Amino acid sequence: MDKSKKLIYNLGAVFIVFLTLFVISLTMNEFAKSDYAGLDQPRSIRVSGEETLHEVPDEAEIVFSVVTQGEDYGEATNRNSQQMSEVRDYLKENGLGDEDMKTLNFSVSPRYRETTENRDREREIIGYEVENNLKIKFKNLDEIDSLIAGAIDAGANKVAGLSFSVSNEEELKIDARKKAIENAREEAELIADSLGVSVGRVLDYSESAGFYAPRVSMDLMEEAADDSQQVPIEPGENEIRSSVEVTFEIN
């Protein structure tokens, strides 16, 4: 082999070695940066904590409906307006203000009669039905059964959607969350103590919350509306629940 070829061969070998080292260096740098390597990832434990609070409701929401019929639109709506006005007047006499009442829905539907002539069925409008739904918020729960009976006597012919709530719901949610987090930390410290390590900073956190308010059955409401009588109603307790998962660093 002459000197020129030998020189080219040696230069090529050096270039290949240099290129190989360069590629290895890049690979090691990327590997060191990668989370997959796990070299810089802190040690951690993930625990859960829960808390459930029970609170007696201090508010109730009810939907009163007035349903009327008439041979034409004007007759049906006039009857409905008069009947609903009497219901609203009764509610105001019992301590409710305009801010405690809200119209949820107002609908007008035609009433049909089907006739058959020469095997042909026809439908003709024989009148209209109007439904007006009024949602109220009431705070004197000791008198809720008499309020419902009085509203029915005043003209409401349908009662639905009775539910109970607590006015400080947001505060209770915060309290439940705080206690759930405390429970999670206590659990983490028990585990860490068993492992011979200590609990450090929070690395991750997630939460799911729930609020359960018992509702009075529709059968009970229909019974009150049909008989126009007082039905004993118990608000029970509302449930405020928080469940958290927390990842703590351990040292």
Q: Is 235 exposed, middle or buried (0-12, 13-18, 19+ CB in 10 A)?
A: buried
Contacts of residue 97, Cβ cutoff 8 Å, sequence gap at least 6: none
- Residue range 218-227: average pLDDT? 51
Q: What's the CA gap between 242 and 182, in Å, rounded?
A: 12
pLDDT given for residue 229 in this prediction: 53
Task: Please give the CATH topology (third level) of the domain spanning 42-58+167-219+226-251.
Answer: Translation Initiation Factor IF3 (3.30.110)
pLDDT given for residue 244 in this prediction: 96
66 within 8 A of 155, measured Cβ to Cβ: yes
Could you tell me which residue, 123 or 77, shows the higher pLDDT? 77
pLDDT given for residue 183 in this prediction: 96
pLDDT given for residue 36 in this prediction: 46
Could you tell me which residue, 102 or 218, shows the higher pLDDT? 102
pLDDT exceeds 60 at position 223: no
Average pLDDT, the chain: 83
Question: Among 90-94, 189-193, 231-235, where is mean pLDDT lowest?
Answer: 231-235
- What percent of the chain is predicted at pLDDT more than 90? 59
Question: In 3D, which of 176, 192, 182 has the Cα closest to residue 246?
Answer: 182
197 within 8 A of 249, measured Cβ to Cβ: no
Task: Please give the CATH topology (third level) of the domain spanning 59-165.
Answer: Alpha-Beta Plaits (3.30.70)
Question: Among 71-75, 83-87, 93-97, 213-217, where is mean pLDDT lowest?
Answer: 213-217
Q: What SS3 class is residue 88?
A: helix
Residue 181: which pLDDT band, with cuts at 50, 70 and 90? very high
Residue type, 50: E
Q: For the chain, which residues make up each domain, given as ranges?
A: 3-37, 42-58+167-219+226-251, 59-165
- Residue range 76-97: average pLDDT? 95
- Residue range 234-243: average pLDDT? 87
Tokens of 7: 């020189």
Residue 122: which pLDDT band, with cuts at 50, 70 and 90? confident
Residue 123: which pLDDT band, with cuts at 50, 70 and 90? confident
Residue 148: which pLDDT band, with cuts at 50, 70 and 90? very high
Q: Which helix (H) or strand (E) holds 117?
A: strand 101-117
Tokens of 188: 């983490």
